[in-house]
Amino acid sequence: GKFCDQPCPSGTYGIGCAPCSCKNGASCNPVTGNCTCTAGWRGKFCDRACPGGTYGIRCSPCSCKNGALCNKINGICTCTAGWRGTSCDQPCPRGTYGTKCAQCSCNNGASCNLVNGTCTCTAGWRGTSCDQPCPRGTYGTKCAQCSCNNGASCNLVNGTCTCTAGWRGT
């Protein structure tokens, strides 16, 4: 003002109230024009994002593990499928999977994929949930054809033959 009794308007600085060059919500010092960056930004004019894996006003290193995403403002980790915890350093508990550690639907001792929940059946079982036995005359993890003869029964797990009366062999 005429009597130097009014501060420069917001976004201006110095003698004559020149426009500030601060970006991304940074505050501008009304005397020097220096920028104070908001969280997640850096550089003289706060025009460069913090590098990947860093966050906050000082671009501090994130503590996220196992491919988790780090929020560039507050450093909170978003875990990838199969992981949990504040730093995503703990696997989902046994029998769970995915980004929310949902319950698996695997049966009969099958293992559950931590990422997508698919089941890997134990020998003698099949189906998406491993709830169906291998068909008669087959065995193992892929329900392969048995080679038993003369009415012998086939073990669903290892394919060994149990001979009928009057027959022998493996």
SS in 3 state form for the chain? Answer: CCCCCCCCCCCEECCCCEECCCCCCCEECCCCCCEECCCCEECCCCCEECCCCEECCCCEECCCCCCCEECCCCCCEECCCCEECCCCCEECCCCEECCCCEECCCCCCCEECCCCCCEECCCCEECCCCCEECCCCEECCCCEECCCCCCCEECCCCCCEECCCCCCCC
Q: Within 13 A of 23's CA, how many CA atoms are on the CB side?
A: 10
pLDDT of residue 1: 56
pTM assigned to the model: 0.65
pLDDT of residue 120: 96
pLDDT over 80 at 130, yes or no: yes
Q: What is the mean pLDDT of residues 53-77?
A: 95
Within 8 A by CB and 6+ apart from 25, the residues are 38, 41, 46
Quickly state the pLDDT bin for 170 (edges 50, 70, 90): low
Mean of pLDDT over the chain: 93
pLDDT over 60 at 149, yes or no: yes
Quickly state the pLDDT bin for 2 (edges 50, 70, 90): confident
State percent of the chain over pLDDT 70. 99
The distance in angstroms from the start CA to the end CA of the chain is 105
Nearest residue to 54 via CA among 76, 70, 38: 70
The torsion of the CA quartet 51, 53, 58, 63, rounded to 10 degrees, works out to -170
Q: What is the mean pLDDT of residues 92-97?
A: 92
pLDDT of residue 76: 96
